């Protein structure tokens, strides 16, 4: 018999690492080419890794929470005697005898810098942008992993070393893993790399609310229900047609801006595992009922964990909303590498001065952030003001303007 090393496959374009979420097998389990060995998570989605061979699992390489490089060994499988090895496979050599264990040495709070640094993709990206050689940075994360705080200390010349808690004041420590780890990495990268500018505008949705109520009454037989979001998506599509540089992604490393004709709108969605952003692709070709149905479908798939990698990637501009809990003002963080995010706050009745008297109006604030490297304040204000006009005069969402 021979042992076959199953390696972490290429799980997506541009993905160099993946986090091991869970094992689906144990040592001693028999597997076939239909068996799932493990679940791993990339920046885009959770992926199942299937066995390419038939045999018995003899070793698992790693623990849940570990970040593994694409191409590194994941599982060792002892092949059946009569099973042909996969094409191009080279059986693994038997393991060498283990060397005598060295005397245990108490671990320090911060691991010394070594020739090979372990760090999450967002930390590696930030280090490259700052021109920092990760091998020179002492890691304070689990197993010596380099984290963002280590880069900060490195930039400050080593100041601000971690402080040990006083005796009797030791906190409960939870490992940040899975979706929450990805969220932390992506938001840290976005906030530290992008100079944000946030613009807030009040929008009178009284007329839109009347239209929405009537359309829902007439469309009661439909599966979907119209919320504010489909109308907002429609307004964004029209506003992007006038300012295409807002429907774009920016690569800071190459200093290139990619502009898109198609509008792929990300809808930030709260799930039991954290915030994810399913994408309404080609929003420019959809009507409000179609948009409502697609937003509902994607939100459901995101919450129950069935959203595909395609459904969770490719956005060119994002909407974030807390619904009724939206508050008066938020400061949305841009969904990198996009250059704009539209934030929806709560809808409420406010007294508004109109026609010489105060009137109760249905008002909502839009809190929108922009990448100031690409979007000037004037352009940001123009964009939001255009969305405001379209929502306040909702007929404009459905007719082609003349002139």
Max CA pair span of the chain: 90
Q: How far apart are CA 286 and CA 283, in angstroms?
A: 5
- Identify whether 376 is a catalytic site residue: yes
* Centroid of chain to Cα 255: 22
Terminal CA-CA length for the chain: 78
Do 378 and 192 meet the contact criterion of CB atoms below 8 Å apart? no
Q: H or E segment at 336?
A: none
Q: Write down the catalytic residue from 281, 376, 379, 400.
A: 376
Question: By three-state DSSP, how is residue 248 classified?
Answer: strand
Question: By three-state DSSP, how is residue 58 classified?
Answer: strand
Q: How far apart are CA 17 and CA 10, in angstroms?
A: 9
Backbone angles phi, psi at 250, to 5 degrees: -120, 130
Do 267 and 318 meet the contact criterion of CB atoms below 8 Å apart? yes
Closest CA to 297 of 308, 285, 282, 284: 308
- Identify whether 264 is a catalytic site residue: no
Q: Write down the catalytic residue from 29, 372, 379, 400.
A: 372
Question: By three-state DSSP, how is residue 180 classified?
Answer: helix
Taking CA atoms, 175 is separated from 78, 112, 178, 317, 331, in Å, by 33, 21, 10, 31, 27
- Based on its alpha-carbon atoms, the radius of gyration of the chain, rounded to whole angstroms, reads 26
- Tell me the catalytic residues: 372, 376
């Amino acid at each position: 018999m021979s042992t076959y090393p199953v390696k972490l496959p290429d799980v997506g374009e541009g993905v160099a690492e993946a986090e091991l979420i869970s094992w689906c097998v144990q040592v001693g389990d028999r597997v076939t080419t239909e068996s799932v060995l493990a679940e791993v998570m990339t920046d885009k989605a959770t992926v199942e890794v299937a066995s390419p061979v038939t045999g018995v699992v003899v070793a698992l390489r790693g623990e849940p929470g570990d970040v593994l490089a694409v191409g590194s060994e994941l599982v060792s499988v002892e092949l059946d005697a009569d099973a042909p090895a996969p094409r191009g496979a080279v059986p693994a050599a038997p393991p060498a005898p283990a060397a005598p264990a060295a005397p245990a040495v108490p671990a320090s709070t911060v691991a010394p810098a070594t020739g090979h640094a372990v760090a999450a993709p967002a930390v590696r990206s930030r280090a490259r942008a700052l021109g920092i050689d990760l091998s020179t940075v002492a890691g304070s994360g689990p197993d010596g992993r380099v984290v963002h705080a280590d880069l900060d200390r490195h930039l400050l010349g080593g100041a601000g070393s971690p402080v040990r808690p006083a005796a009797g004041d030791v906190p409960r420590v939870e490992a940040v893993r899975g979706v929450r780890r990805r969220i932390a990495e992506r938001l840290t990268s976005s906030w530290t790399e992008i100079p944000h500018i946030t613009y807030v505008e009040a929008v009178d949705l009284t007329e839109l609310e009347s239209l929405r109520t009537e359309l829902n009454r007439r469309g009661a037989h439909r599966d979907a229900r119209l919320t504010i979001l489909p109308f907002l998506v429609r307004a964004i599509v029209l506003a992007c047609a006038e300012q295409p540089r807002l429907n774009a992604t920016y690569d800071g490393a190459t200093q290139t801006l990619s502009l898109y004709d198609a509008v792929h709108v990300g809808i930030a969605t709260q799930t039991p595992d954290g915030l994810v952003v399913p994408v309404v692709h080609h929003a420019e070709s959809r009507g409000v009922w179609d948009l409502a149905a697609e937003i509902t479908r994607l939100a459901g798939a995101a919450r129950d964990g069935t959203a595909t990698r395609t459904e969770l990637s490719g956005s060119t501009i994002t909407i974030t909303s807390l619904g009724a809990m939206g508050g008066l003002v938020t400061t949305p963080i841009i969904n990198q590498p996009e250059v704009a995010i539209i934030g929806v706050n709560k809808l409420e009745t406010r007294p508004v001065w109109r026609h010489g008297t105060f009137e109760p109006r249905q008002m909502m604030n839009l809190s929108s952030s922009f990448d100031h490297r690409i979007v000037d304040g004037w352009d940001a204000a123009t964009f939001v003001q255009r969305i405001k006009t379209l929502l306040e005069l909702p007929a404009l969402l459905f007719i082609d303007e003349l002139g």
